[in-house]
Chain A
Amino acid sequence: KQEVTQIPAALSVPEGENLVLNCSFTDSAIYNLQWFRQDPGKGLTSLLLIQSSQREQTSGRLNASLDKSSGRSTLYIAASQPGDSATYLCALETSGSRLTFGEGTQLTVNP
């Protein structure tokens, strides 16, 4: 059974800092890995999707990496802003389009 762990559970940083969120998983037989953002009481916004054959993806100030051999992914956020405050979830897609989510990292960026 796939298990997904995100560290840290919560993170508070001053505006402008670069930061890294971590995601680890136990089963490397994945189709892809996604990072999502969830604002309080809201649904999910997809940020980045890394295919199983890829090592990283970039979108603006966000960069996500994937290392299947070690079962790890990181989400790097450059020059953080208060608007980045949200919960960040990583999710792995396995067979049947099933997504297994981590418990998320709650990020607070202080102005």
Chain B
Amino acid sequence: GAVVSQHPSRVICKSGTSVKIECRSLDFQATTMFWYRQFPKQSLMLMATSNEGSKATYEQGVEKDKFLINHASLTLSTLTVTSAHPEDSSFYICSAGTRGLTTDTQYFGPGTRLTVL
């Protein structure tokens, strides 16, 4: 149980185009979804937190107009990288959180490798 999927797993696009990444919780309803970015040889950096039906909360330094997050249901969140540029090339990972009795648990997706040419 507790499987999170991401689609696509890998995408290559031209500079200036927009790319949409989907994150789905397959067998549970997620209270919250998180989006992370990971550059080569670096750790995961939280970009934004989203709750179903409300606006996402972005971390300091993350442009909300460039990284559009839509959280339409308890099982689906999307991240759209608008007008992508080569510096946006990175590994994007989502996680879906559930609220447990003693702690909140996050389950991570397999990641999406974005390459902007």
Contact = CB atoms under 8 A, between A and B. Distances in A.
Dominant secondary structure at the A interface: strand
B113 A41 contact: yes
B103 A49 contact: yes
17 contacts: A4-B43, A41-B91, A42-B111, A43-B108, A44-B93, A44-B95, A46-B108, A49-B103, A91-B44, A96-B49, A97-B32, A97-B34, A98-B34, A98-B46, A99-B106, A101-B44, A103-B42
A89 interface: yes
Interface of B: 6, 32, 34, 42-46, 49, 91, 93, 95, 97, 102-111, 113
Contacts of B105: 49
Contacts of B49: 96-98
Dominant secondary structure at the B interface: strand
A44 B96 CA distance: 12
Interface string A84-111: 0000010101001111111110000000
A interface bracket (residues with beta carbon within 8 Å of B): 20 to 34
A104 B34 CA distance: 20
B103 A102 contact: no
B43 A104 contact: yes
